[in-house]
Amino acid sequence: MFIPKEELDSRRNALQEKLQVQGVDGVLLAQNMTMYYFTGTMQCQYVYMPASGLCLGLVRRNMERAAEETSVPLQRMAGFSQLPLLLAEAGHEPFRLGLELDIMPAALYLRAVKYFSCEIVDISTAVREVRQVKSEYELAQLRQAARQVDAMHRLVPEFLAEGIEELALAVELEAVLRKMGHQGISRMRSFNQEIFFGHILSGDAGGVASFLDSPTGGTGISPVQPQGPGRRIIRRGEPVSVDYGGIYNGYVVDQTRLYSVGPIKKELERAFEVALLIQEKVCEKLIPGASCDEIYQTAAAIAQKAGLSDNFMGRGDTQAKFVGHGIGLEFDEFPVLAKGSSCLLEEGAVVAVEPKFVFQSTGVVGIENVWRVCAKKPERISITPDNYLVVNHH
């Protein structure tokens, strides 16, 4: 599905308002998802967005496909050294040039410094703030992603059985998602943060942390892919956490549900009930103007009262200091419901709320759903029931 012109115009206008306030003449965008967000195509090498007027897609290869996919004006380009002249010919000679310095490679930044004789400023926060508020078009994609991941979860009882490997379960569930149009790649913005389809974790594998800035990790297949499902055999009476994202036209609905073959231990059931309580109390605060730090502190206080602080969102030095995160084209968008965050929620922001408890020897339990921040109460985008499901295959 191509992004409508009026949608792209609205996104451009939102960023240009911020550029004008900050006194930035234009931005050179180089990150795939940001360029796609503002143009609707992945064929641009760079995108130049002036503080007013049309943006310009700069294409090195596949101009034909770029022209099919976007309504944004396009210009062929060769090397980076030509960019200042090419932009000047198009009427763009910025005195203050914005770059997404949070993720731009140093080599590319140094090229910009070399070839552009102007002041360079960081514009990444403004770009991320624009992207965090979702339009009706984006919400339509998210709702389809919710249907996709819901269909997968409804088939978990068919595939989950005592004695199968985590990886075997993952193969079945990932095939369901792919057949429904999942793009097969999960995108994250932060440097060196990466994820495949998600995490399927059983028993003590759920207590294995990883480098990922996430409450869960898992063993993965090897040290070079050290997260998510591994070769562990799923056993009766242990928690199986299925944390996967449905992805439709690029948009992610991140969702976690708890399963087991036969009942799990009572202390794990109790922790799961606390996770549901945290979700309820957090969602009461998902309104415009709410403090992301206060939302996190609300969640942490409930975990502390339940005697589960040491297990909340991970363990030890791998505890994640957030209870939710923005979601959209990437898994790690603004806002982050995090400790110490100065961010206030905006109406229309979409967040994944994911209270989880991790126990080293017995595993992970928790819940994750996606919500839209609305004036009075949040809109739930996830549609799968929250209940923990016991499968009684023999």
DSSP symbols for 59-72: ESS-HHHHHHH--S
Instruction: Round the CA-based radius of gyration of the chain to a whole number and report it.
Output: 22
- Burial of 223 (C-beta count, 10 Å sphere; 0-12/13-18/19+): exposed
- Burial of 191 (C-beta count, 10 Å sphere; 0-12/13-18/19+): exposed
Q: Which two tokens stand for residue 328?
A: 């959209």
What average pLDDT does range 212-232 have in this prediction? Answer: 91
pLDDT confidence of residue 393:
58
392 pLDDT tier (thresholds 50, 70, 90): confident
Tell me the β-bridge partners of 201: 241
DSSP-based three-state secondary structure for 322: strand
pLDDT per position as a tens digit, 272-323:
999 999 999 999 999 999 999 999 999 999 999 999 999 999 998 889 999 9
Q: Which two tokens stand for residue 50?
A: 């002036």
Quick one: which H or E segment has residue 124?
helix 124-132
pLDDT per position as a tens digit, 66-85:
999 999 999 999 899 999 99
First to last CA, the chain: 44
Interatomic CA distance for residues 113 and 365, integer angstroms: 48
Tell me the β-bridge partners of 291: 344
Residues in the chain: 394
pLDDT per position as a tens digit, 184-216:
999 999 999 998 999 999 999 988 888 888 888
User: Do 128 and 333 touch, CB atoms closer than 8 A?
Assistant: yes
Backbone phi, then psi, for 191, in 5-degree steps? -60, 130
Verdict on whether the full-model pTM lies above 0.85 = yes
Exposure string of 110-149, with b = 16+ CB inside 10 Å and e = fewer, is: eebeeebeeebeebbebbbbbbbbbbebbbebbbbbbebb
pLDDT confidence of residue 189:
94
Cis peptide before 215 (omega within 30 of 0): no
User: Do 49 and 55 touch, CB atoms closer than 8 A?
Assistant: yes
Domains in the chain, CATH or no CATH each: 5-131 (3.40.350.10), 133-391 (3.90.230.10)
DSSP-based three-state secondary structure for 312: strand
